A and B are shown apart, each in its own frame.
Chain A
Amino acid sequence: MSSMTLKEPRSFFTKDTKSKGEPYVWFTGMGLVLGIFMIVSLLTLIFVKGFEVFWPDRVMLAELREGSPGAAGASRFLAGSIVMRQEKPVRDLTAPHDADTTELQLFVGNKDVYGFAYRFVDSSDILGRTYPQELMRIERLEYGDAMGKAAGLRVKGQAYLPASDPAFRASLERLVHDAEKRWKEIRRIEKSEIGRINRTMEKIRLKKKSLQASGEADVSERAAALDAQSSELQEKYEGLAREAARLRSMQKDSALDYETYTGEKKSLPAGEIVGFYYPNELYLPQRIAFLIGKIISFLTAEPREANTEGGVFPAIFGTFVMTVMMSVAVTPFGVLAAIYLREYAKQGFMVRAVRIAVNNLAGVPSIVFGVFGVGFFVYFVGASIDQLFFKEALPTPTFGTGGVLWASLTLALLTVPVVIVATEEALAAVPRGMREGSLACGASKWETIARIVLPASAPGILTGLILAMARGASEVAPLMLVGVVKLAPSLPIDGEAPFFHFERKFMHLGFHIYDLGFQSPDSEAAKPMVFATTLLLITLVVVLNLGAIFIREKLRKKYATGAF
């Protein structure tokens, strides 16, 4: 020790550039920044565009230059809300250097009059802009929104009520409200009552068919009884149909007269009006209230006009039911498999091979699962069920066609690797000491797993389930093959016995987006709905995840092992 001489103390303030600071902090940070930037801009776009759909924007009345290509018809006036402002893609080279080269996209509505609902207008063509207070925007059952100036109200058996009358708005509101009530009644009659009669008649028909096929000697008596039942129902049906027709004709009794700002006079039956408002006279709180109302109706109403209008409730419901069914199917399946792999199987070549196979399964393209679902579940399992239990309905398939059950099972297969991997990790993270403690108390292996290991690993298993649910809820490709449809006539769960109709086809938010964006007859009209639905889907997945995280935190507090 003493023979060693201390070296000259070296300065910490080195001039060596290599060890100066931590340059790789920036390098690695860059990756994160890029990722965050992309996610934030994606969410912002969807958020802004999604909310814009419901925002009651002011409507501009533009006075156009003579001969403007943007004009609708001969009129120099055009009313519309500004959707977008952009540089003109093709520049007019003859235009002066400092000319306004932007163009506006306007939502002008009145598709029944113009043949279009959106219009591009050059900014330089607009001579004057006003925002008339009396401009009315009418949401209709068909042709999208109308915009114009109200003229008056024709009510059956009453005097003509001009728009200038102070009672005009209240009367119109009442008419719309009455019409809505009538629609509900019509829907009730046509959907549930007539629907029930139809289904009973179908049952009778099938009974008769199987009776005839049974080959029994004397069936004519029973067949006659069935016929009598059938004709009784037919009578009932006709009565209901007449009632529905009467209500339908009442929807046309009153009408709203209005005039577009391009000069066309129109008359709209009250039954066609969903709602109306004056976009230029709303104050901010009213606008916000309107926004909230629109969002609520978007969430709770059924779609209209090839899904481009109305709400998305059936799609939300379908997504929800399918995700829950998928979770119910995938959880026990995946957790049991993982328990065997981790706790019972002898760790060796076979287990390693199985584990690799499971991991690879997670990477199989989802459409492959869809094909498997069709081939196995629909054509094999479903068709066999039909053969065994629904023979009389054939050749119309009951289970032998896509449905929410098969879609859920297909997605369960798709997500089972996620659950297995997560469960295995969670099981492995339970400390060995805890298992030994349980075994030393005389518990068998299964008792140890059931009483100690599974509860302790529940938070980790739940994490896997969250991932599986998020993946399953946002999957579209395989669903298209195994039961998702553009418009399902009825929900997979409803008030009609046996309440759960898992053979039914269903609607799904992911498919809804695809269908709106790419399969819609009017893609321009569908665009806002695409964003709104996307926002909803993202919100749904986030809510699902937050809910699961919340449960996990509670569990973690309960079983505070600190393993996760």
Chain B
Amino acid sequence: MKGDDMEQTLEREKALRGGVPSRKMTVMSSSEKESEQVKGESLAPLIRVADYSFFYGASQTLFNVNLEMYENKVTAIIGPSGCGKSTLLRNINRMNDLVDGISHRGDILIHGQSIYDPHLEVTELRKRIGMVFQKSNPFPKTIYENVVYSLRVAGINNRTVLDEAVESSLRSAALWEEVKDRLEESALGLSGGQMQRLCIARAIANRPEILLMDEPCSALDPIATAKIEELIYQLKKDFTIVIVTHNMQQAARVSDYTAFFYMGKLIEIGETKKIFMSPSVKQTEEYITGRFG
């Protein structure tokens, strides 16, 4: 088991490092096109998961995961249900701290700094990492107050700052035109897709570095999904995005890198195109061709 892991890790490493085209494209029209020429010469990993294992009580859900995620790139995590993809995502901002009886081995580093550093304030960590959940969870407040929530929590109450944040976040979330006349109405009157975009606006309102998305489209209809996907593409200019999805087409459409998880283990990670065109591990191929999962 351990040997296999090592082998896979090495393979992954090879996949990541090897064959790096080092041109900078001037025009980027689609995510595929971009992913083709990603990886500038100095792509420093923003998030590094180092030999990370995770346990709910006695049951282990992640096994010695090693991977890196790059700045201003979209990394998709795919895999069948229960493979540990959401668990990993929720550990990046330590959301799993809420659960009783958890433990971990290894480390997750952001900018080379451990998120488990005892001197780290977890609320500060979360202020720098936005998160969008599977089920949209707007607060029972007005649209305006929903968006500025993270700012208010950070102690910003200056009306001009808040107004600006609301407009820019809602514009970024492609919701501004739809709600600009009813910012003082309850957020709970929005449609499902609008609510999810509102949650995205809320997550990016205080300009975090990283945006975590936990199956953000799983409860939405195709039109709303297309909007969110378009949005993700726009947002990666400013944010590093990690998206968990069980929709492989979505992963292929929106991401630059794709990591495939199976049974708590990272099977393969690489450029999205490579993962979908020529996976190097047989399990990946079987999964993306729909033979299991």
A433 touches B186 (CB 8 A): no
Tell me which residues across on chain B come within 8 A of A558, comparing CB atoms: 140, 186
Q: Report the minimum CB–CB distance from A564 to chain B (whole Å).
A: 12
Q: When the two chains form their complex, are residues A434 and B95 in contact, meaning their CB atoms are under 8 A apart?
A: no
Query: What does the 1/0 interface line of B39-73 toward A look like (CB < 8 Å)?
Result: 00000000000000000000000000000000000
Please tell me if the beta carbons of B139 and A452 are within 8 angstroms of each other in the complex: yes
Determine if B135 and A440 form an interchain contact, defined as CB atoms under 8 angstroms apart.
Answer: no
Complex CA gap A558/B189 in Å reads: 11
The stretch of B9-17, B19-27, B121-129, B169-177 that contacts the partner chain: B121-129
> Nearest CB to that of A346 among chain B residues?
B100
- Using A442-B126, A444-B123, A559-B140 as known contacts, say yes or no to A436 and B153 having CB atoms under 8 A apart: no
B261 at interface by CB-CB < 8 Å: no
> Are A440 and B140 in contact, with the CB atoms below 8 A?
no
Write out the residue numbers on chain A whose beta carbons fall within 8 Å of the beta carbon of B124.
442
Q: How far is the CA of A477 from the CA of B277 in the complex (A)?
A: 81
CB <8 Å contact, B188 and A560: yes
User: Residues 331-367 of chain A: 1 if any B CB is under 8 Å from the residue's CB, otherwise 0?
Assistant: 0000000000000001100000000000000000000
- Bound-state CA distance A452–B150 (Å) is 12
User: Do A441 and B188 touch across chains, with their CB atoms under 8 A apart?
Assistant: no
- Complex contacts, B127 vs chain A, CB 8 Å: 441-442
Q: Which residues of A contact B130 (CB under 8 A)?
A: 440-441
Residues of B within 8 A of A452 (CB): 139-140
Q: How large is the interface on A (under 10, 10 to 19, 20 to 34, 35 or more residues)?
A: 20 to 34
Contacts of B260 in A (CB 8 A): none
CB distance from A448 to the nearest CB of B (A): 9
Contacts of A134 in B (CB 8 A): none
B212's nearest neighbour on chain A, judged by CB, is: A440
Taking CB as reference atom, which chain A residue is nearest B94? A439
Q: How many residues of B contact A (CB 8 A)?
A: 30
Interface residues of A in 413-442 (CB under 8 A from B): 431, 433-442
Interface residue B137 (Cβ < 8 Å from any Cβ of A): yes
Given contacts A442-B127, A560-B186, contact A436 B95 (CB under 8 A): yes
- B87 near A: Cβ within 8 Å? no
A561 interface hit (Cβ, 8 Å): yes
**Alpha-carbon distance between A438 and B123 when the two chains are bound, in angstroms:** 11
What is the CA–CA distance of A339 and B194 in the complex, to the nearest angstrom? 32
The answer to whether B93 and A440 touch across the interface, beta carbons within 8 angstroms, is yes
Q: A447-B153, A558-B186, A561-B188 are in contact. Are A441 and B202 (CB under 8 A)?
A: yes
Query: Known interface pairs A439-B95, A444-B123, A561-B188. Does A433 touch B154 (Cβ–Cβ under 8 Å)?
Result: no
Looking at the assembled complex, report how far the CB atom of A454 sits from the nearest CB atom of chain B, in whole angstroms: 11
Question: In whole angstroms, how far apart are the Cα atoms of A427 and B197 in the complex?
Answer: 27
Cβ of A455 and Cβ of B140 under 8 Å apart?
yes
- Residues from chain B with a CB closer than 8 A to the CB of A443 are 123, 149-150, 153
> Is the beta-carbon distance between B126 and A560 smaller than 8 angstroms?
no
Q: Is the CB of A437 within 8 A of B139?
A: yes
Q: Is A322 an interface residue (CB 8 A)?
A: no
Give CA–CA (A443, B95) in the complex, Å: 12
- Interface pair A441/B137, CB less than 8 Å apart: no
Check B140 against A439 for contact (C-beta < 8 Å): no
Residues of A within 8 A of B131 (CB): 436-437, 440
| Contact string against A for B residues 175-209, beta-carbon threshold 8 Å, 1 for contact and 0 otherwise | 00000000000101000000000010011001000
**Chain A residue with Cβ nearest B142:** A558
Q: Which residues of B contact A451 (CB under 8 A)?
A: 149, 152-153
The reply to whether A431 and B137 contact each other, CB–CB distance below 8 Å, is yes
Q: Inside 8 A of B98's CB, which chain A residues have their CB?
A: 435-436, 439
| Residue of B139, B140, B199 with highest tally of chain A CB at under 10 A | B140
Which of B133, B141, B153, B199 is in CB contact (< 8 Å) with A442? Answer: B153
The smallest beta-carbon distance between B35 and chain A, in angstroms, is: 28
Contacts A440-B130, A441-B202, A442-B150 given; does A434 touch B188 at CB 8 Å: no
Contacts of A559 in B (CB 8 A): 140-141
A560–B140 touching, CB < 8 Å = yes
Q: List 12 A–B pairs whose Cβ atoms lie within 8 Å, in order of A's numbering.
A: A346-B100, A347-B100, A434-B137, A434-B140, A435-B98, A436-B98, A437-B202, A440-B129, A440-B133, A442-B127, A443-B150, A559-B141
Nearest 6 A-B pairs (CB), nearest first? A442-B127, A559-B140, A433-B137, A441-B150, A440-B131, A437-B137
Chain B interfacial positions (CB closer than 8 Å to A): 93, 95, 98, 100, 123-124, 126-131, 133, 135, 137-141, 149-150, 152-154, 186, 188, 199, 202-203, 206
Known interface pairs A439-B126, A440-B93, A440-B203; 13 further A-B residue pairs with C-beta atoms within 8 A, sorted by A's residue number = A346-B100, A434-B140, A436-B95, A437-B133, A437-B137, A440-B131, A441-B130, A442-B123, A443-B149, A443-B153, A452-B139, A452-B140, A559-B141
